[in-house]
Structure 1
Amino acid sequence: MSTRFWTGSRRDTLAGYLFIAPQLLGSVLFVFVPLGLVFWYSLHEWNVLADTFTFVGAENYQALADDPKLADALVATGFFSAGLVVLNLSLALLLAVLLNQRLRGTVFFRTVFFSPVVVSLVAWTIVWNFLLQDNGGINALLETVGVDGPNWLRGEGTAMVAVIVVQVIKNVGLNMVLFLAALQGVPANLYEAATVDGASRRRQFLSITVPMISPTILLTSIITVVGSLQVFAQIAVLTQGGPGTSTTVLVYYLYQQAFQFHHFGYGATLSVLLFAIVLLLTLVQWRMRRKWVFHES
């Protein structure tokens, strides 16, 4: 091929394509192809035991609309996601503001609050499973102050709250670090000018801190919402969806249908529903950014 063809512009273009090729190939193989296969499986009834794979069209989607248990799973998912997102983001922001102060011991406490993030999820959940039993460590601690604690994971009013708290403690450190990085990027002269103008700490936080770190709030919100909709290991280890169906979130219900009841076609249909919910909530948050994220209006 003549050197006249390989102009500087074409060489730069080829180099660009080569740089993005690994990421593009990974996305195609591990994201787009599996998504296509899940949709394809949702149009079939796949019986592994009988070794049959039958095309059923939209029957699985009709079954989805008629499923009486789906509403309970969606309610449990909504309750878990709302509780997790509100507690995680608010606590992470509070910790970040406190640990952003120039005080002794802040590095130690940053490490303490972040350390659960790097702990194995299964190991973390198993330990909390023992702590939250009727005769576990939490109730033993409460007994020292004269309080008779419940069996946290077996009560309909406490099981979901216990799972949310365990997950918040596990991951709050990640959002805390992101908020810390954002807070340290806020120019100090803005606070100095606000102090000269007589603005209170509360007014400075609402009018300076929150707008300046709003892009990070958007990022952490999207990450936390998506993560809350994909929770599985915590439910499987702590409650197995019980008591009753009070903690049967959508992912755990999907697991039951596909791998316990062997309804793989219907499980794939639930996966499509989960993908649609995640995509919708992410798009809604992304579109709403123009109304409250700094520099996005």
Structure 2
Amino acid sequence: MTWTTKKRDELAGWLFVAPQALGFLAFVVAPLVAVVWYSFQDVNLLAGTSSFAGADNYAKLFDDPTAPKVARATAIFCVGLVVLNLALALSLALLLNLKLRGTTVFRTVFFSPVVVTLVAWTIVWNFLLQDNGGINSLLQTIGVDGPNWLRGNGTAMLSVIVVQVLKNVGLNMVLFLAALQGIPASVMEASQLDGAGPWRRFRSVMLPMISPTTLLTAIITVAGALQVFAQIQVLTLGGPADSTNVLVFYFYQQAFANHDLGYGSALAVVLFLVILVLTLLQWRMRKRWVFHES
């Protein structure tokens, strides 16, 4: 066999992509296949036995009294996180785009939590949000008796959402800022000469021009919101009364705490399908609200 330059280049290309391809097969495709397979099995981890269960694990979802609470908590967390994160990130990016003094420090302060370890960040907030923690101590100095943030039915979910928003808002802020700075100055000047006020320029010029970035941040934030685990594990353990028991944490409880790997795998498959459907839905809707999308 004659090794021509073309064949050597092709071989070199395959060798370069092989580690990534093998890693993807081993750590993404294989676990996905295993989870789907386990979702149709009745697995007893303690006894080390497994038998085919058909669709029983999926049918169990409809009889599980905790499932509606988990679905409600997941929906509330996802909607609250996405809305608050994107709104705050865009607001911060607009402020930074004004190029006022001190913007470098301001940008660093809000982006620094992104590079902090998630568990360390959450543990610090766990101390701050305790009944006798730093937040309530600060409130007491101004005469306000703060609630038990992580144990109240009305404050536990809000606390988890705010902690997660403050952790990741810096990333979306930077993405929005890059998009805003990419808007041609001539477009903004033309809209101003046409008599458009600040709100009109924001709504009719800025938002359409940064709509591709908005789509990207929305997809990333929705997918991340549906996969939250560490914050629930450290802050609330799904309580009180399952009000913060989101789907990923419930899957963990069933698979590894209750040793029901079959049902836990079925929940993981459902989570995968939910993320897939929401991502495809957002991608399909891009033609309606993403500027210059063909």
TM-score (norm 2): 0.96
Q: Distance in 2 between matches of 1:35 and 1:295?
A: 36
- Aligned match of 2:113 in 111, 116, 119? 116
Query: Structure 2: where are the runs of 5+ without partners?
Result: none
Matched, 1:30 2:23: no
Instruction: Give the aligned partner of residue 282 of structure 1.
Output: 279
In structure 1, the residue matched to 2:208 is: 211
Distance 2:257 2:186 in 1: 60
Q: Which runs of 5+ in 1 are unaligned?
A: none
* Cα separation, 2, equivalents of 1:154 and 1:258: 25
1:38-187 matched pairs, under 5 angstroms: 38-187=35-184
Where do residues 227-242 of structure 1 align in structure 2 (5 Å cutoff)?
A: 227-242=224-239
What amino acid maps onto 1:80 in structure 2? Answer: F
Between the aligned partners of 1:57 and 1:51, the Cα distance in structure 2 is 19
Task: Measure, in 2, the Cα distance between the counterparts of 1:18 and 1:188.
Answer: 45
Per the TM alignment, residue 103 of structure 1 is displaced from its structure 2 partner at its CA by 1.4
CA distance in 2, matches of 1:165, 1:294: 31
Note if 1:220 corresponds to 2:251: no
Counterpart CA distance in 2 for 1:103 and 1:11 is 55
CA distance in 2, matches of 1:155, 1:50: 39
For residue 25 of structure 2, what is the amino acid of its counterpart? V
Alignment partners' CA distance in 2, 1:234 and 1:220: 21
Query: What is the aligned partner in structure 1 of residue 199 from structure 2?
Result: 202
Q: Given the superposition, is the C-alpha separation of residues 12 and 205 from structure 1 closer, same or farther in structure 2, using an over 3 Å criterion?
A: farther
Question: Could you tell me how far apart the structure 2 residues matched to 1:291 and 1:181 are?
Answer: 23
Please give the alpha-carbon distance, in whole angstroms, between the structure 2 residues aligned to 1:215 and 1:42: 37
Deviation at 1:18, TM superposition (A): 4.1
Q: Give the whole-Å Cα distance in 2 for the aligned partners of 1:20 and 1:188.
A: 41
Letter in 2 for 1:207: S
Q: C-alpha offsets along residues 217-264 of structure 1, whole Å, 9 cap, x if unaligned?
A: 111100000000000110111001101110100111111101111101
| Paired residue total | 294
**How far apart in 1 are the matches of 2:180 and 2:98?**
10
1:11 shift after superposition = 5.8
Matches within 5 A, 1:240-259: 240-259=237-256
Q: CA deviation at 1:14?
A: 4.8
